[in-house]
Structure 1
Amino acid sequence: MKTLFAFFCKALDALTGLVAIAAGILLFVPVFSIFYEVVSRGLFNEPTEWATELSTYCVLMAGFLGMGEALARGRHIHVDMVISHLSKRKNLILRLVVSVICLVFTAVFCYTSAEMVYTSYDLDMVAASTLRMPLWIPQLSMPIGIGVLFLQFIRLFGETMQAYHQEVKGGKTV
């Protein structure tokens, strides 16, 4: 079982890394498009109609795609005011409970966002702008990013279960 979990973690690291690279690349697009907009507007008095919209899509997509990497690196927001005062065993139990809640939330979010992407694709929905971006393209970052986040919560749950079992085997008191 441990080797299966180790394989899962290794594969998840690779997947998370690829998705994080995509998020990083997406963050460069706004830099160049806004730079182009400034030069085009300032030097040639020819503003673009697409730069702001494209930048918005890319930043939002990068945010969703980067969530799994943030959790994997321990960079998500967390409040340790309570957990810093708990014993190790109680802290592990709390982490297990929170992991289960997060698993349920991310599973529902992933499913509903995938439905939204499918609906946008099926109905050929496009943005009501001059760019006319097919909406399923930026929306696709939601189920992908939340799906990776879901898998990271599975990992967190598994690692916490292992740590809890080690804590219990050690016979330490609460």
Structure 2
Amino acid sequence: MSRNVMRGWDGLMAVLRGASIVVLVFMALTICYDAVMRHVFSAPTSWSLEVNSFLLVYLAVMGAAEAQRHDAHIRIEFFAHKLPLRAQALVGVITGLLGAIFSFVMVWRGGIMAWQAFEYGERVSSALGTPTVIPYATLPIGFGLLGLQFLLDTWRAGRRCLHPEASPQPSKEVPGDV
């Protein structure tokens, strides 16, 4: 795979990671603000729950590709680690392809939802009245990125499948562990 493509992918993931940090900080501040307004001044905000609910969806969907990239999703590996290296790589190819297929189905269906929300001008029935196309659009974007990451993982697993002795196994070490 081209170094420029991988550098661009790494850059995109860094931007999304930074945006997720900003979103998380914003959520913490607005939730604290709402709690103070509600319990101290008896004047809760009308927008905090809605905005933070949509931002939580953003964090989950947009962070999925980054979690997949760092092999941070939860899974059961008891049997997979007992297989020979070539079989482990083949399992990686199969799961990568299945993950990519699932992701691209979600892109397709999420795209339909977002388009219909845009086409019909749907809005959330709340005081803020957020256009539903905004949260719905995170689905095809986030799952598209996840699908691309699954394809990258599949490509790497395929290389390990062809040359298991030449390709090092990905490190399971968690950053910060001693």
Q: 1:166 aligns with which of 157, 163, 166?
A: 163
Q: 2:103 aligns with which of 101, 106, 115?
A: 106
Superposed CA deviations along residues 42-76 of structure 1, whole A, max 9, x for unmatched, are 23221112111111111111110100100111101
In structure 2, distance between residues paired with 1:147 and 1:19: 13
Identify the residue that residue 29 of structure 1 maps to in structure 2: 26
The structure with the largest helix share of the pair is: 1
The letter for the 1-side match of 2:111 is A
Identify the residue that residue 41 of structure 2 maps to in structure 1: 44
1:87-102 aligned at under 5 Å gives the runs 87-102=84-99
Aligned residues: 167
DSSP-derived class of the 1:167 partner: coil
What runs of 5+ residues in structure 1 fail to find an aligned partner?
none
The letter for the 1-side match of 2:95 is V
DSSP-derived class of the 1:145 partner: helix
What runs of 5+ residues in structure 2 fail to find an aligned partner?
168-178
Tell me the TM-score normalised to structure 2 length.
0.87
Say if 1:16 and 1:148, in contact at 8 Å, map to a contact too. no
Superposed CA deviations along residues 101-150 of structure 1, whole A, max 9, x for unmatched, are 11111111111111211111111100011111111111121111111111
In structure 1, distance between residues paired with 2:136 and 2:83: 40
In structure 2, distance between residues paired with 1:104 and 1:168: 29
Q: Does 1:54 align with 2:73?
A: no
Say if 2:86 and 2:160, in contact at 8 Å, map to a contact too. no
Pick closer, same or farther for the CA change 1:169–1:77 going to 2, 3 Å.
closer
Say if 1:114 and 1:143, in contact at 8 Å, map to a contact too. yes
Say if 1:33 and 1:51, in contact at 8 Å, map to a contact too. yes
In structure 1, distance between residues paired with 2:15 and 2:109: 23
Q: Does 1:72 align with 2:69?
A: yes
DSSP-derived class of the 2:40 partner: helix
Say if 2:87 and 2:161, in contact at 8 Å, map to a contact too. no
The letter for the 1-side match of 2:81 is S
Identify the residue that residue 144 of structure 1 maps to in structure 2: 141
Q: Please identify, of 36-45 and 62-71, the stretch whose mean Cα deviation from structure 2 is larger.
A: 36-45
Identify the residue that residue 175 of structure 2 maps to in structure 1: none
Q: 2:16 aligns with which of 14, 19, 22?
A: 19
Tell me the TM-score normalised to structure 1 length.
0.89
In structure 1, distance between residues paired with 2:135 and 2:25: 16
Say if 1:24 and 1:62, in contact at 8 Å, map to a contact too. no
Q: CA deviation at 1:21?
A: 2.0
